[in-house]
Structures are given as C-alpha cells and as structure tokens.
Amino acid sequence: MLTREFDYIVRPGDTLFGIALKFNVPFDTLKNLNHLPDPDRIQPGQVIQVPVSEEFYQIVRLVEEQCGLAQPSDAAAEATAAAVETAAQCDCDEQPPAVFYRRRRIRRGDTVYLLAKEYGTTTGNILSLNPQITDVRNLQIGSIITIPVPPENSYIYVVRPGDTLYSIAQSQGVTVEDLMRYNYIESDYTVYPGQQLLIVK
C-alpha cells in the first residue's frame, strides 16, 4: 500500500513515464499528485512527489542517515526502490541485498578508476550517479561525489564478445532485473565487450 510521499529529484534524461516505471506507480497518479499541466516537460533538479510504501520510505530515510545526507536523494531512492517494492509485492521474506552510498570528498590523486577499485564498484556506476563528472582522470579536488558501495557478496564481471544481459544473467546465476538494477541500466541498453558489470548475489 502506498501511504507516504517521497521527494524525487529529477535527473537529466528522466521522464515522468520513466519515473512512474521506476517506482511502480501509475502514470496518472504521479501526474495528478504533482499537478503537472504538461507531463512531457519536467526539468533536471525539479522535485517530483512519488507515493511510496511506508517500508520504502523508512528504508530510504535510514540510507540517507547512514550517508549523512540532509534530505532524501535520488541516488538512494534509485537503489532501494526496486528492492523494497519487489519485497513488498512478493510473498517471500527475503529482499535483494541493499547498496549503500557514501559521500566522498575528492582528494589529490583521486580518479574514477581508483575510487571504483577502492569501493569495489564499477566506474560506470560512479559515473551514472555523478553526471557532473566530465573528466574521469581530472576530478575537481574538494568536490563531493556519491559512490555506491555494493554488499559483500558481489563481484565485477567483464563483458565478453557476444555477451548479452540475458546470457550474463544466466551464466552468473542472477536475474536480468538485478543486473539492470545494480548497474543503473535502462531497458533498451546493450552491453559491450570490456564493460564492467556489478554482479550481486
């Protein structure tokens, strides 16, 4: 049951339809709740209210407290939305492992590659959460970025020629949905050889 409203910050490339799919909320419900005269025109940085379950809301707040963030962020929401909503809709007691987020101040010598290695994630995942990064080797010292920290039971898979999301999911014993969730992949995405994917079991 959707009992709370969550503030989602629109990111570049977001559409209202995509946000509705991400949070498993009816499009018309989202449109009417936010009184949007033209739902095709939302802007990055705009705050959209999303109806969510009490369980989802509390988990997001917990993640935010652990990250030391003052208000709910789209990064935390994106990582927890699918996990919490999936658990709420099924009859099982088990839910997908959670990804936690750290706010990291850039120091001299930091690169996206070294940060990914330090935190056990991929460069692609860091870049997905930090669209302000334009040069992976020349990060702005003193700036703060968000780093997804995967659970312990995870590892990096390097895409091979001929791989698809489906074949990778089959060979690694995970679902396509989990591959997409933990790697911030859209539905029409095609993997490429050499790409790193986070596998979470």
pLDDT, one tens digit per residue, over 107-135 is 999 999 999 999 999 999 999 888 889 88
The domains found in the chain, sorted by start residue, are 2-89 (3.10.350.10), 100-200 (3.10.350.10)
Residue of 43, 46, 19 whose CA lies nearest to 31: 19
79-95: average pLDDT: 42
Q: Indicate the pLDDT class of residue 100, thresholds 50, 70 and 90.
A: confident
For a pLDDT cut of 90, what percent of the chain falls above it?
Answer: 29
Position 104 pLDDT exceeds 70: yes
Residue of 67, 61, 55 whose CA lies nearest to 7: 61
CA distance 184 to 42: 21
Helix, strand, coil shares of the chain, percent, nearest 5, are 35, 20, 45
Among 135-139, 157-161, 195-199, the minimum mean pLDDT is found in 135-139
Rounded to whole angstroms, what are the CA distances from 132 to 35, 47, 52, 128, 143? 29, 19, 28, 10, 10
Amino acid identity, position 126: I
Residue 152 belongs to what H/E stretch?
none
Q: Phi/psi class of residue 68: alpha, beta or left (left: φ > 0; alpha: ψ in -120 to 50)?
A: left
Q: Indicate the pLDDT class of residue 170, thresholds 50, 70 and 90.
A: very high
